[in-house]
Amino acid sequence: MMDNVAATNGIVHYIERVLGVPYQTLWEIMRNESRIQASFHMMSNLQLRYSMDPWQVLTPEQNFTFFVPTNEAWQKQPPSLVARMNDGNHWQALQYVYKRHVLQGQALMYTDLRERTYVMMNDEKVVITRRGRFFELYWPRGNRRARVIEGGEIAGINGYMHMIDNVLIYEPDLRAQACDTEPFFLQLLIVSLVMVWRPGWFSYTVFFYR
């Protein structure tokens, strides 16, 4: 805020931004919001954080609706599961879990939420239902539910964040890392198996797996 400017009919104050207009990315909001610090620290080492913190929003795909678990939501989870997710060996699994909470390409306010099935960023289906006056997320595969906290909506320049009271996670998620990395090792195996040596030539024909 700049110095006061006196006028004949009052005082004028200059401010550095327009009130009511989002000026932070979703990632910047997470950094400054005390209720979701657990999620902020978990995501600090994930590639997903860069999607939440764009330099500028140029395409609809850069808009998100993020149902972010609160600190209390993470405290409800089995300590052993949370510890393994954060042991440094399961980053891909943790990112897979967080993508289950992110709707890409749509920036939905609380009033935009509808009872329907959404395909989340990790290609899994999550159903939004209404329980009384609250909305609730239901993840069929894991049979987990999370209530959208009323008043927990925060707007960013690249979408909306809604705090939830539970985490859509279960023990088999720890194997998501193996699922994500398997194609790479499978590719190396297939490349090795299909290398064909041509008699009389010191060269190989390689059929790449994609």
How is the chain split into domains, by residue range? 20-170
pLDDT digits over 116-149, tens only?
A: 999 999 999 999 999 988 999 999 999 999 999 9
Determine the residue type at 112.
Answer: D
State the pLDDT at residue 23: 77
Is the CB of residue 78 less than 8 Å from the CB of residue 84? Answer: no
Architecture of the domain made up of 20-170: Roll (2.30)
State the pLDDT at residue 181: 39
State the pLDDT at residue 61: 86
Angle at 76 between CA 128 and CA 120, to 5 degrees: 30
Cβ contacts of 156 within 8 Å, gap of 6 or more: 22, 24, 25, 26, 28, 29
State the pLDDT at residue 80: 97
State the pLDDT at residue 57: 75
Q: At what angle do helices 176-193 and 91-99 cross, to 10 degrees?
A: 120
State the pLDDT at residue 59: 84
Residues of the chain with pLDDT under 50: 19, 179-191, 193-199, 201-210
